[in-house]
């Protein structure tokens, strides 16, 4: 019982901070996206593709969350975007307080879109609101068609699902139609996009969606 009460208090405080920063995003006109996925599904690679296409059109900021290393932030630093790394030192998700602290290192007045690349995990980040306007869950074809059925809360919490690594389909037993069916079983009407971060396929459609929502 004490554990449950503590969790409720933690989530309540997280939600309070999330609302504070959500209001700040709104005041500044910043469109914020929380990117979630399993490790290795392609969050950073997709962000690289997005930055390549949009860095000359909108002002982008990226908060990168990892348990250890600054590898992903270094990969993104080659673009003309503001990038801040959060190292969680073992924590399996980002929370609103971590994001709020990271925001102090970003010039919010020079931002149009803020991406929050969460820690690779389809369980822990589910219940942590980061003040985002959109949650995008990325699932790769290598993970199996039944991934959405194994982690339903995360996929149900998403606004958009991106199926990445479609270039590998000829070499896999995966059935993308079955994966879409399972995604829609968890959340009917979910927006689904297909991408290959390696080849750049489908990234334009994702960028178009982001720019449309930004308006």
Q: Are strands 60-66 and 82-87 parallel, antiparallel or unpaired?
A: parallel
Instruction: Report DSSP state, residue 61.
Output: E
Give pLDDT, residue 4.
54
Which ranges of the chain have pLDDT less than 50?
A: 1, 3
Q: Are 200 and 49 in contact (CB under 8 A)?
A: yes
Query: What residues does 86 pair with on adjacent strands?
Result: 65
Give pLDDT, residue 189.
97
Spatial separation of the C-alpha atoms in residues 47 and 75, rounded to whole Å: 10
Closest C-alpha among 177, 190, 83, 81 to residue 134: 190
Closest C-alpha among 183, 139, 190, 144 to residue 163: 139
Find the helix packing angle between 43-54 and 203-214, rounded to 10°. 70
Q: Are 87 and 66 in contact (CB under 8 A)?
A: yes
If one counts the domains in the chain, the total is: 1
Domain that holds residue 153: 2-214
Query: What phi and psi, each to the nearest 5 degrees, are found at residue 48?
Result: -60, -45
Burial of 30 (0-12, 13-18, 19+ CB in 10 A): buried
Give pLDDT, residue 1.
45
Spatial separation of the C-alpha atoms in residues 52 and 5, rounded to whole Å: 45
Query: What residues does 163 pair with on adjacent strands?
Result: 139, 194
Domain CATH code at residue 141: 3.40.50.300
* pTM listed for this prediction: 0.94
Spatial separation of the C-alpha atoms in residues 164 and 178, rounded to whole Å: 15
How open is the CA angle 132-137-142, to the nearest 5 degrees? 160
């Amino acid at each position: 019982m004490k554990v449950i009460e503590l969790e409720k208090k933690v989530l309540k405080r997280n939600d309070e901070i999330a609302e504070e920063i959500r209001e700040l995003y709104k005041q500044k006109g910043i469109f914020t996206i929380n990117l979630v996925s399993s490790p290795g599904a392609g969050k950073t690679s997709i962000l690289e593709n997005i930055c390549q296409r949009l860095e000359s059109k909108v002002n982008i900021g990226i908060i990168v969350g990892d348990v250890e290393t600054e590898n992903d932030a270094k990969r993104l630093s080659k673009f003309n975007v503001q990038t801040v790394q959060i190292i969680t030192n073992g924590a399996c998700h980002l929370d609103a307080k971590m994001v709020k602290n990271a925001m102090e290192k970003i010039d919010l007045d020079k931002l149009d879109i803020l991406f929050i690349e969460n820690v690779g995990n389809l369980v822990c980040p589910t219940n942590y609101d980061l003040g985002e306007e959109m949650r995008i869950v990325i699932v790769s074809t290598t993970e199996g068609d039944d991934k959405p059925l194994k982690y339903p809360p995360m996929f149900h919490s998403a606004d958009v699902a991106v199926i990445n690594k479609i270039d590998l389909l000829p070499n896999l037993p995966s059935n993308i139609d079955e994966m879409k069916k399972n995604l829609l079983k968890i959340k009917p009407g979910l927006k689904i996009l297909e991408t290959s971060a390696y080849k750049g396929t489908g990234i334009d459609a994702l960028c178009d969606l982001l720019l449309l929502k930004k308006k």
